[in-house]
């Protein structure tokens, strides 16, 4: 890498946000450079400062929340931190483009995609206006969208997540940028689509010799696409180097922790190590608790069908019926973890909600041999409450106006006639069993992290003394290290309380780690089922094959 | 970014607004004491016959001073302003409470139960329909009063008992009814509605004014409560509360209500302002409170009769102006937090 090739250089950049009286150091003295054609990954967990530092390159931060920023971000010998607005507008979007995580919110919902693309060209390119449309259609073809003319005329809500991400890539490419910043561009997408997008990004940047700054928390995605990596932790760069060597021989303990706390085939039978354990060097391999698998079915689902009516138009009377699950049957045995995998829209969450009683449905669901009323949750309340559910988003799963302790006490007293003080001591017991101490009793959910919140959610479920716990993408929104903690916790709870778990996830490696049996779903139907290792190690169905292949 | 509170520093005028509000409360609470000991006048005391329409600062024969002058009948304006504070606060508070109660009951029910959550048997339906019409009619003929609440409780408990007669239930589209009710209500111009309600009343007192103003100011807040409730119902923490077996009542008052109160408190502050303004308007038009209750609007009305008496327009006008400004500042403040 010689000096002339360096197009972006970040030198001793620090940034802190102001909170009422104190300031929080988001980025602490980082330096790195990006050369032409390089694909540089920045990895780290949430709060590590990876997104903040990259958005600072584009000056996309408001003045007000920033207390202090120092250092230099040099592009074409110019410090972007000091650049005035008209100049930065010429650079961003034009020379440095951004692809963001949420393709839906990155597009203007009331303007057609084609128009948004031509706006980019009008602002940044010197082409004659009458050639714009042709150029855009070419771009859309280049990002492998099958019907460019239709996409050109579509609004963002008419396209799928994968299509929108392609449109975003087309938009980023439209001005022939020198650098593309990708902020978790594939995190919100299904695995198979993620794979296609990554290949596309690799091909296109190769062709134009564009540099890529790729922000991600997903180490496997990064290994696949990028040629060098920066690992960030708490605002600092802890390790940097070429890929895949950095990941195969990590020097820093944090990098090692990130790599080892992911569930893989190798650590299938061990308790997952946590980041603190590895950094402090206290991790010892220990075997996972052995499960007591029963043969009797605790829950039987027979030809479960759920349809949604979807209104087409504001004024049209006809409505379209969407089949979410189509004639699904399976059984859940006592003490096991049944994984359900599938991409978004495969109907896996719908099953969870039908079982929990949040939806009405057709078909039959029975607990312990007793069928419940599909139309009314209230009718079989006692039976239903043996089933509890942990949701994906830990931030919306707790009442922000209620302390954690009282919210547990409330549930305990609903189910057992006990005095307040007895309920309180029970609540503290449950907090202990999910790994939180009694200081959490008097706290509001506000200051809790995602992992802590998810623990509280699990504690709340346990308060009803359930037999079955449904985890609907319960670890998907969490960082890898936190994910490992929650998976360990579930493992332990299964062992201690004899819980039966229905584990729904799109993440094959997590499902492989935690479940005994697995169902693979596609478009509302079960395409394959059986013992986890036999299904995922030697998939019979072509779709399962694709899902497994997409994970490295 | 999550978890970071953006509480801004309190501005000087916000402290001023709080101070003004405290001062108003003091005036309202100690109105008799203040006017007796400092001004020496009673609110409806008619002073000497040659002292009507006297300018601020004029002195009585016995040495008492009319700080802000007198009105058409020689009553002391400063005293009436102080007593008017009492009226303004009373009306503002009463109207806010009544419209808040109506909007909470309707909004929570509509938002939580939607069109299918409330199920009644036909006996209950018939009973509630009949009693609603009958009690509505009689309460408008005999004037509203607090006995209305007793009647509502009676109707409710009989409806509850009727629920045991039959198990066949029909779902009541409570959301649809509430929203259509709001739409119908909104098609009638506000002032027109108030005027026609006052035309029905024979002798409007303070309570009538509060009830009427309260009854016309619920729709906007009901909509806010309903929308907020619907948002909360679709959120995970309400779902998990339902799954853990908590009763509807518990979910409503422990989980939804505290989360609804924050957004609705802003709307209530604006209602408070609106009520004070509306009461002044009505008194100005001469159809609101009876003559013997001092109110800012009533003093303003007297300025209409004698234009040269500028003090009759300026002082109560300023009082209304500053009160409304203060409450709006406080409402904005609540909005930011």
Nearest CA in chain A to B255: A399
Structural domains in chain B (count): 2
Q: Does A400 touch chain B (CB under 8 A)?
A: yes
The residue that leads in pLDDT, B289 or A153, is: A153
Residue positions counted in chain B: 337
A398: tokens are: 């707790």
Q: What's the rounded mean pLDDT across residues A397-426?
A: 89
- Are residues B130 and B272 located together in one domain of the fold? no
Q: Does A453 touch chain B (CB under 8 A)?
A: no
Residue A258 has φ and ψ, to the nearest 5°, of: -60, -40
- Are residues B127 and B159 located together in one domain of the fold? yes
Count the helices and strands in chain B (H runs, E runs).
Answer: 14, 4
Q: Give pLDDT, residue B140.
A: 64
Q: Give pLDDT, residue A502.
A: 93
Q: Would the ipTM clear 0.90, i.e. be above it?
A: no
Please list every residue in chain A whose beta carbon sits closer than 8 Å to the beta carbon of residue B1. Answer: 17
Say yes or no to pLDDT of A62 above 80.
Answer: no
- Are residues B106 and B205 located together in one domain of the fold? yes
B152: tokens are: 């509502």
Q: Cα(B197)–Cα(B92) distance, rounded to whole angstroms?
A: 19
- Are residues B295 and B199 located together in one domain of the fold? yes
Q: Find which of B240, B241, B247, B263 to mutate to test the A interface (most A CBs within 10 Å of its CB).
A: B240
- Are residues B164 and B28 located together in one domain of the fold? no
Asked if A10 contacts A30 with a C-beta cutoff of 8 angstroms, the reply is yes
B182: tokens are: 């709001």
- Are residues B190 and B248 located together in one domain of the fold? yes
Say yes or no to pLDDT of B3 above 50.
Answer: no
A21 pLDDT band, cuts 50/70/90, is low
For residue A272, the distance in angstroms to the closest alpha carbon of chain B comes to 28
Q: Cα(B239)–Cα(A394) distance, rounded to whole angstroms?
A: 13
- Are residues B67 and B159 located together in one domain of the fold? no
A261 pLDDT band, cuts 50/70/90, is confident
The answer for B 207-236 residues in CB contact with A (under 8 A) is: 235-236
Q: Give pLDDT, residue A2.
A: 46
Q: Does A380 touch chain B (CB under 8 A)?
A: no
Q: What domain range is B155 assigned to?
A: 118-172
Say yes or no to pLDDT of A378 above 70.
Answer: no
Q: What's the rounded mean pLDDT across residues A299-314?
A: 76
Mean confidence (pLDDT) of chain A: 84
A472: tokens are: 């609907």
For residue B7, the distance in angstroms to the closest alpha carbon of chain A comes to 7
The structure's pTM equals 0.79
Q: What's the rounded mean pLDDT across residues A164-178?
A: 87
Q: What's the rounded mean pLDDT across residues B265-277?
A: 85
Instruction: Using a pLDDT cut of 90, give the percent of chain B over it.
Output: 13
- Please identify, among B172, B197, B216, the residue that sits at the C-terminal boundary of a domain: B172
Please list every residue in chain B whose beta carbon sits closer than 8 Å to the beta carbon of residue A414. Answer: 244-247, 250
pLDDT digits (tens, 9 = 90+) for A516-536: 999 999 888 899 998 888 888
Burial category of A475 from C-beta neighbours within 10 Å (exposed 0-12, middle 13-18, buried 19 and up): buried
Q: Does B5 touch chain A (CB under 8 A)?
A: yes
Q: Does A402 touch chain B (CB under 8 A)?
A: yes
Contact B5 A20 (CB under 8 A): yes
- Are residues B51 and B134 located together in one domain of the fold? no
What three-state secondary structure class fits A390?
strand
Interface size A-B, in CB pairs within 8 Å, comes to 72
Q: How far is CA B59 from CA B32, B39, B52, B67, in A?
A: 21, 11, 12, 9
Q: What's the rounded mean pLDDT across residues A421-438?
A: 90
Q: Give pLDDT, residue A423.
A: 92
Please list every residue in chain B whose beta carbon sits closer than 8 Å to the beta carbon of residue A411. Answer: 244-246
Asked if A483 contacts A260 with a C-beta cutoff of 8 angstroms, the reply is no
The residue that leads in pLDDT, A388 or A58, is: A388
- Are residues B237 and B147 located together in one domain of the fold? no
Q: Find which of A60, A399, A474 to mutate to test the B interface (most B CBs within 10 Å of its CB).
A: A399
CB within 8 Å of A103: residues ≥ 6 apart:
A156, A161, A164, A165, A167, A168, A188
How do beta strands A179-183 and A211-216 pair?
parallel
Q: Does B253 touch chain A (CB under 8 A)?
A: no
Contact A460 B2 (CB under 8 A): no
Q: Give pLDDT, residue B6.
A: 43
Q: What's the rounded mean pLDDT across residues A256-274?
A: 81
Please list every residue in chain A whose beta carbon sits closer than 8 Å to the beta carbon of residue B236. Answer: 391, 393, 396-397
A63 pLDDT band, cuts 50/70/90, is low
The residue that leads in pLDDT, B128 or B183, is: B183
For residue B168, the distance in angstroms to the closest alpha carbon of chain A comes to 15
- Please identify, among B108, B143, B172, the residue that sits at the C-terminal boundary of a domain: B172
pLDDT digits (tens, 9 = 90+) for B189-234: 888 888 887 877 766 778 888 888 888 888 889 999 999 999 998 8
Name the residue among B2, B244, B5, B113 with its Cα closest to residue A391. Answer: B244
Q: Cα(B38)–Cα(B163) distance, rounded to whole angstroms?
A: 62
- Are residues B98 and B125 located together in one domain of the fold? no
Largest Cα–Cα distance in chain A?
Answer: 79
Please list every residue in chain A whose beta carbon sits closer than 8 Å to the beta carbon of residue B244. Answer: 385, 388, 411, 414, 460-461, 463-464
CB within 8 Å of A341: residues ≥ 6 apart:
A348, A505, A506, A507, A508, A511, A518, A519, A520, A521, A547
The CATH number of the domain where B105 resides is what? 1.10.3720.10
Say yes or no to pLDDT of A285 above 90.
Answer: no
Query: What one-character-per-residue DSSP string does B253-311 give?
Result: IIIIHHHHHHHHHHHHHHHHHHHHHHHHHHHHHT-SS-TTS--HHHHHHHHHH-TT-TH
Nearest CA in chain A to B7: A20
Out of A377, A396, A464, name the one closest to residue B235 (CB): A396
Burial category of B199 from C-beta neighbours within 10 Å (exposed 0-12, middle 13-18, buried 19 and up): exposed
- Are residues B190 and B135 located together in one domain of the fold? no
- Please identify, among B126, B147, B172, the residue that sits at the C-terminal boundary of a domain: B172
pLDDT digits (tens, 9 = 90+) for B6-31: 445 677 888 898 999 899 889 888 88
Mean confidence (pLDDT) of chain B: 82
Q: Does A60 touch chain B (CB under 8 A)?
A: no
Contact A464 B3 (CB under 8 A): no
Asked if B43 contacts B79 with a C-beta cutoff of 8 angstroms, the reply is yes
Look at A53-62, B128-137, B235-244, B302-311 and tell me which has the smallest mean pLDDT.
A53-62
- Are residues B88 and B163 located together in one domain of the fold? no
Q: Give pLDDT, residue B171.
A: 80
């Amino acid at each position: 890498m010689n000096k002339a090739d360096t197009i972006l250089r970040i030198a001793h950049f620090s940034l802190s946000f102001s909170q009422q009286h104190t300031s929080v150091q988001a980025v602490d003295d980082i330096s790195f450079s990006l050369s032409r054609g390089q694909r540089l990954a920045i990895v780290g967990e949430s709060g590590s400062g990876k997104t903040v530092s990259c958005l600072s390159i584009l000056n996309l931060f408001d003045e007000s929340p920033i207390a202090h920023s120092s250092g230099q971000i040099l592009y074409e010998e110019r410090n972007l931190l000091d650049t005035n607005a008209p100049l930065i507008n010429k650079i961003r979007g034009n020379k440095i483009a951004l692809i963001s995580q949420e393709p839906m919110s990155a597009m203007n919902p009331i303007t057609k995609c084609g128009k948004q693309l031509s706006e980019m060209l009008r602002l940044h390119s010197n082409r004659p206006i009458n050639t714009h449309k042709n150029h855009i259609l070419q771009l859309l073809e280049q990002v492998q969208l099958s019907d460019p003319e239709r996409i050109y005329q579509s609004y963002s809500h008419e396209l799928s997540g994968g299509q929108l991400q392609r449109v975003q890539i087309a938009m980023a490419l439209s001005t022939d940028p020198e650098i593309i910043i990708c902020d978790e561009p594939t995190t919100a997408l299904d695995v198979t689509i993620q794979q296609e997008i990554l290949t596309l990004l690799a091909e296109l940047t190769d062709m134009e010799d564009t540099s890529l700054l790729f922000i991600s928390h997903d180490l496997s995605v990064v290994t696949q696409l990028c040629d060098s990596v920066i690992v960030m932790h708490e605002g600092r760069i802890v390790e940097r180097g070429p890929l895949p060597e950095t990941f195969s021989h990590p020097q820093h303990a944090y990098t090692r922790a990130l790599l080892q706390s992911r569930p893989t085939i190798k650590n299938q039978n061990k308790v997952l190590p946590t980041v603190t354990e590895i950094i402090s060097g206290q991790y010892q391999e220990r075997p996972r608790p052995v499960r007591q698998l029963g043969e009797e079915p605790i829950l039987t689902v027979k030809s479960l069908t759920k349809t949604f009516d979807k209104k087409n138009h504001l004024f049209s009377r006809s409505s379209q019926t969407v089949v979410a699950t189509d004639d699904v049957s399976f059984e859940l045995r006592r003490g096991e973890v049944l994984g359900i995998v599938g991409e978004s829209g495969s109907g896996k969450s719908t099953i969870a909600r039908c079982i929990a009683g949040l939806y009405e449905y057709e078909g039959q669901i029975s607990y312990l041999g007793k069928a419940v009323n599909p139309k009314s949750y209230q009718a079989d309340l006692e039976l239903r409450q043996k089933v509890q559910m942990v949701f994906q988003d830990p931030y919306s799963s707790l009442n922000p106006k209620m302390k954690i302790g009282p919210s547990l006490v409330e549930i305990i007293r609903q189910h057992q006639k006990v005095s307040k003080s007895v309920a309180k001591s029970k609540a503290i017991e449950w907090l202990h069993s999910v790994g939180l101490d009694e200081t959490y009793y008097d706290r509001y959910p506000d200051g809790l992290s995602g992992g802590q919140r998810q623990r509280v959610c699990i504690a709340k479920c346990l308060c009803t003394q359930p037999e079955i716990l449904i985890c609907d993408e319960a670890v998907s929104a969490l960082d890898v290290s936190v994910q490992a903690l929650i998976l360990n916790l579930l493992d332990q709870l299964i062992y201690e309380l004899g819980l039966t778990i229905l584990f729904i996830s799109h993440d094959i490696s997590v499902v492989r780690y935690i479940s005994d049996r697995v169902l693979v779903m596609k478009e509302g139907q079960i395409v394959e089922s059986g013992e986890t290792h036999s299904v995922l190690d030697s998939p019979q169905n072509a779709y399962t094959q694709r899902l497994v292949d997409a994970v490295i | 970014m999550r978890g970071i509170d953006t509480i801004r520093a309190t501005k000087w005028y916000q402290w001023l607004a709080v101070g003004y509000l405290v001062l108003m409360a003091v005036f309202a609470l100690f109105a008799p004491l203040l006017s007796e000991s400092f001004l020496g006048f009673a609110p409806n005391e008619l002073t000497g016959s040659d002292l009507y329409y006297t300018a601020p600062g004029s002195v009585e024969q016995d040495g008492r001073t009319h700080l802000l002058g007198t009105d058409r009948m020689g009553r002391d304006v400063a005293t009436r302003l102080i007593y008017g504070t009492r009226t303004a606060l009373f009306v503002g508070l009463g109207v806010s409470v009544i419209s808040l109660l109506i909007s909470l009951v309707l909004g929570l029910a509509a938002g939580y139960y939607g069109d299918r959550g409330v199920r009644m048997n036909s006996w209950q339906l018939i009973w509630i329909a009949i009693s609603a019409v009958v009690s509505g009619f009689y309460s408008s003929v005999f004037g509203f009063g607090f006995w209305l609440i007793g009647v509502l409780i009676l109707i409710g408990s009989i409806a509850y008992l009727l629920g045991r007669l039959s198990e066949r239930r029909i779902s009541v589209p409570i959301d649809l009814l509430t929203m259509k009710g709001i739409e119908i209500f909104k098609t009638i111009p506000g002032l027109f509605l108030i005027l026609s309600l006052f035309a029905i009343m024979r002798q409007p007192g303070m309570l009538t004014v509060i009830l009427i103003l309260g009854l016309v100011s619920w729709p906007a807040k009901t909509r806010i409560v309903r929308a907020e409730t619907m948002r909360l119902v679709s959120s995970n923490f309400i779902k998990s509360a339902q799954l853990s077996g908590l009763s509807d009542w518990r979910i409503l008052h422990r989980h939804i209500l505290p989360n609804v109160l924050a957004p609705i408190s802003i709307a209530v502050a604006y209602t408070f302002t609106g009520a004070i303004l509306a009461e002044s308007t009505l008194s100005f038009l001469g159809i609101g409170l009876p003559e013997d209750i001092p109110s800012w609007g009533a003093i303003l009305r007297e300025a209409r009769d004698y234009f040269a008496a500028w003090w009759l327009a300026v002082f109560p006008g300023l009082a209304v102006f500053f009160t409304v400004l203060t409450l709006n500042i406080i409402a904005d403040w609540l909005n930011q937090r």
